[in-house]
């Protein structure tokens, strides 16, 4: 799978997003639209960013009864995004329903990923609050395998877990990893972070980067630095 850098568009409104995207004159970065922007602006923001030529990861992390997720995915499949996701905790049956709903009549569909365990969930909370007695690596491995059994294309996980997912599910199973920081930048509220270069060496296919790019003095340079550190000499500018 092609390596790429996905910019997390964590902005509260369309105005801020366009001011940010307008800075990019030579590249069309792959972008992630999350709950904040989607709930603020609705599906129109997705259509507009797509029309500008960006690839889109719609990060809505669906988790509900299978029938509801199937119907919601049928609606999302019309938005022509490149990637969407669900929580693996919703069960294999729910993930299968998501895949069904997402698949268009002609058989095409966006990539579908599963969130294993959120990087904000600690092993202690998992045990005490969620009553999951297994270790974090065992849980992530099992959830990734469930998602693979359901027919999904890969998972969203910590860059620290990408290698174990590849090991359990094979090299073609996609790993998309947030929690990325430059060696010299602040970690913000992310507790377990990795540099772009280490993420690549650790098995991440796609990295999701928010604040190190969106809050940089010069976001275009920060994006280019990120691509260079992550992709290296493979290609100079992502398409
Ligand atoms: O600003 P920062 O680089 O921390 O942004 C990371 C992005 O990835 C945010 O949009 C956040 O919601 C998302 N994310 C994450 N950890 C996860 C899943 C998604 O940080 N486990």
* CATH number of the domain within which 187 lies: 3.20.20.70
Tell me whether residue 220 is exposed, middle or buried, using C-beta atoms within 10 angstroms of its C-beta: 0 to 12, 13 to 18, 19 or more: middle
Ligand 1 cavity residues, CB under 6 Å: 8, 10, 34, 118-119, 156, 178-179, 188, 190, 208-211
> For the chain, how many structural domains are there in total?
1
Mention every residue, 6+ apart, whose C-beta is less than 8 A from residue 121.
130
134 versus 120: which is more confidently predicted?
134
The pLDDT, as a whole number, for residue 44 is 97
Chain segment 36-59, per-residue pLDDT in tens: 999 999 999 999 999 999 999 999
Range of the domain at 146: 4-231
Provide the β-strand partners of residue 230: none
Q: Whose CA is nearest to atom 10 of ligand 1?
A: 8
Check residue 234 and give its pLDDT.
55
- Residue 239 has what pLDDT? 40
Helix H or strand E segment including 41: helix 35-41
Q: What is the pLDDT of residues 138-151, one digit of tens each?
A: 999 999 999 999 99
Residues 41 and 37: their CA atoms lie apart, in Å, by 6
Average pLDDT of the chain is: 94
> Does residue 239 lie within any of the structural domains?
no
Q: Is 166 a catalytic residue?
A: no
**Length of the chain, please?**
239
Give me the half-sphere count of Cα atoms (radius 13 Å) on the Cβ side of residue 203. 22
Q: Is residue 15 part of a domain?
A: yes
Residue 237 lies in a domain: no
């Amino acid at each position: 799978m092609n390596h790429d850098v996905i910019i997390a568009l964590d902005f509260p409104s369309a105005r801020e997003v366009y001011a940010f995207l307008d800075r990019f004159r030579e590249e069309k970065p792959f972008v992630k639209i999350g709950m904040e922007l989607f709930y603020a602006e609705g599906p129109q923001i997705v259509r507009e960013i797509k029309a500008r030529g960006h690839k889109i990861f719609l990060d809505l992390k669906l988790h509900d009864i299978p029938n509801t997720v199937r119907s919601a995915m049928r609606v999302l499949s019309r938005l022509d995004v490149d990637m969407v996701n669900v929580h693996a905790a919703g069960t294999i049956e729910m993930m299968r329903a998501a895949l069904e709903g997402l698949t268009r009549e002609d058989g095409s569909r966006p990539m579908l990923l599963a969130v294993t365990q959120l990087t904000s969930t600690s092993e202690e909370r998992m045990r005490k609050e969620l009553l999951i007695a297994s270790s974090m690596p065992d849980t992530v491995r099992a959830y990734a395998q469930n998602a693979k059994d359901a027919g999904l294309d890969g998972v969203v996980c910590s860059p620290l877990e990408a290698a174990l997912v590849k090991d359990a599910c094979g090299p073609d199973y996609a790993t998309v990893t947030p929690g990325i920081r430059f060696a010299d930048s602040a970690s913000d509220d992310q507790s377990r972070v990795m540099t772009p270069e280490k993420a690549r060496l650790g098995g991440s296919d796609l990295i999701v980067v928010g604040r190190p790019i969106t809050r940089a003095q010069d976001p275009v340079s920060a994006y280019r630095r990120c691509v260079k550190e992550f992709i290296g000499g493979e290609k100079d500018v992502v398409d």
